[in-house]
């Protein structure tokens, strides 16, 4: 498997890392990184979670991926691995930030998960040289990258003294939104989350809590972002066609019954007004 090396600023998705404290000088990865900045959420938590924690992490990973959100975690045992798997089950992209070099997977029991992440279009990523072994301090160091890549961080389960909480602290210092799943006040694995909420983290009781923040204009029924509107009827017809999943310009012309000249004028105005973006070969996508 090919190992790629980049600087954070050389990729639109990782460029956000340039603005964090102690940014990585270079990144190594296997698989595929997004070629644009997409909404991204980190899901982190205990390595020995409860069945409740596993259920929540899997559901969050899956539902976020269904909305086109990239799920980031550390591919550790427990909550991390379950969140990655939820995203994979939804057919989404997920990125694992390792505390060792990407030439091997750690822990070894998650090797199959690492291969699935790559096979499904995601990536495993690290700031360490490819053959660097897993060392204890590196897992804490990589947490700043997990949060730095994300627009929001969700802590599912964490003890009061947990390495997971370092990711939340990095997120706060980086200006990212922090969510914590409330838990039973008698459970040691809920202490960290409940304490984060007391300190001002968003309590997360539904995936909608995150989606409302990241996709504020989404339709309440479908969960998808509402299609924009135009005062021009032809432009509106093109918008609706794109919203329905049509991408090709020729197909749009046939579907709504307009001339090529009308189409060219309308598509130009939609692009100028930043409503659509070109995919190449006369294919378009709503922004």
Considering the domain architecture, whether residues 61 and 194 belong to the same structural domain is answered as yes
76 and 161 in a single domain? The answer is yes
Do 107 and 174 lie in a common domain? yes
CATH number of domain containing 275: 1.10.10
- Within-domain flag for 226: no
Spans of the chain below 50 pLDDT: 221
Q: Which helix (H) or strand (E) holds 284?
A: strand 283-286
How many other C-beta atoms are found inside a 10 Å radius of the C-beta of residue 11?
18
Q: At what angle do helices 164-173 and 188-198 cross, to 10 degrees?
A: 10
227 inside domain: no
21 plus 155 within the same structural domain = yes
What total of structural domains would you count in the chain?
2
The C-alpha atoms of residue 17 and residue 170 are separated, in whole angstroms, by 12
Of 83, 61, 42, 15, the residue nearest 176 (C-alpha): 42
69 and 204 belong to one structural domain: yes
- Residue at 220 is within a domain: no
What is the tens place of the pLDDT at every residue in 180-199?
A: 999 999 999 999 999 999 99
User: Judging by DSSP bridges, how do beta strands 70-73 and 177-180 pair with one another?
Assistant: unpaired
Task: Check whether residue 145 and residue 246 sit in a common domain.
Answer: no
The answer to whether residue 219 sits within a structural domain is no
pLDDT at 278: 85
In a domain, 87, yes or no: yes
Give the burial class of 220: count Cβ atoms within 10 A of its Cβ; 0-12 exposed, 13-18 middle, 19 or more buried: exposed
What pLDDT sits at residue 223? 54
Nearest to 125 by CA among 88, 96, 87: 96
Domain assignment of residue 28, yes or no? yes
Domain closes at, from 214, 241, 269: 214
CATH of the domain at 23: 3.40.50.450
- 33 with 150, same domain: the answer is yes
Local structure of 190: helix, strand or coil: helix
43 in a domain, yes or no? yes
Range of the domain at 203: 4-214
Q: Which residues pair with 179 in a beta bridge?
A: 154, 202
- Give the helix ranges, DSSP H, for the chain: 51-66, 79-89, 111-119, 136-148, 164-173, 188-198, 207-214, 233-243, 249-256, 260-272
Considering the domain architecture, whether residues 56 and 87 belong to the same structural domain is answered as yes
- 203 and 126 in a common domain: yes
Strands 94-97 and 123-126, bridge-based pairing: parallel
| Claim to verify: residue 184 and residue 245 sit in the same structural domain | no
Q: How far apart (Å, rounded) are the C-alpha atoms in residues 158 and 190?
A: 6
**Per the domain annotation, does 221 fall within a domain?**
no
Do residue 161 and residue 279 come from a single domain? no
Residues 112 and 200 grouped into a single domain: yes
Q: So what's the pLDDT on residue 221?
A: 47
């Amino acid at each position: 498997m090919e190992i790629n090396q980049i600087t954070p600023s050389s990729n639109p998705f990782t460029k956000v890392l340039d603005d964090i404290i102690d940014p990585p000088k270079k990144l190594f990865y296997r698989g595929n990184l997004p070629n644009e900045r997409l909404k991204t959420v980190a899901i982190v938590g205990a390595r020995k979670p409860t069945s409740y924690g596993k259920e929540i992490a899997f559901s969050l990973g899956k539902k976020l991926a269904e909305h086109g959100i990239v799920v980031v975690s550390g591919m550790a045992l427990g909550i991390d691995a379950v969140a990655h798997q939820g995203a994979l089950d939804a057919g989404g992209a997920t990125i694992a930030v390792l505390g060792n070099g990407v030439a091997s997977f750690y822990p070894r029991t998650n090797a199959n998960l690492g291969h699935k992440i790559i096979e499904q279009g995601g990536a495993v990523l690290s700031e360490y040289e490819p053959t660097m072994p897993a060392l204890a301090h590196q897992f804490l160091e990589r947490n700043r990258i997990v949060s730095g890549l994300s627009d929001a961080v969700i802590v599912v389960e964490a003890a009061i003294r947990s390495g997971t909480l370092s990711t939340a602290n990095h997120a706060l210092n980086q200006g990212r939104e922090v969510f914590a799943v409330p838990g039973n006040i008698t459970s040691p694995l809920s202490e960290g989350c409940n304490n984060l909420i007391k300190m001002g983290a968003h309590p997360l009781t539904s995936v909608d809590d995150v989606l409302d923040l990241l996709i504020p204009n989404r339709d309440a029924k479908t969960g998808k972002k509402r299609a924009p509107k135009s005062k021009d009827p032809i432009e509106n017809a093109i918008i609706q066609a794109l919203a329905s999943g049509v991408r090709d310009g020729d197909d749009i012309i046939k579907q709504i019954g307009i001339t090529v000249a009308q189409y060219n004028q309308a598509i130009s105005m939609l692009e100028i007004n930043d409503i659509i973006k070109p995919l190449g070969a006369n294919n378009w996508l709503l922004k």
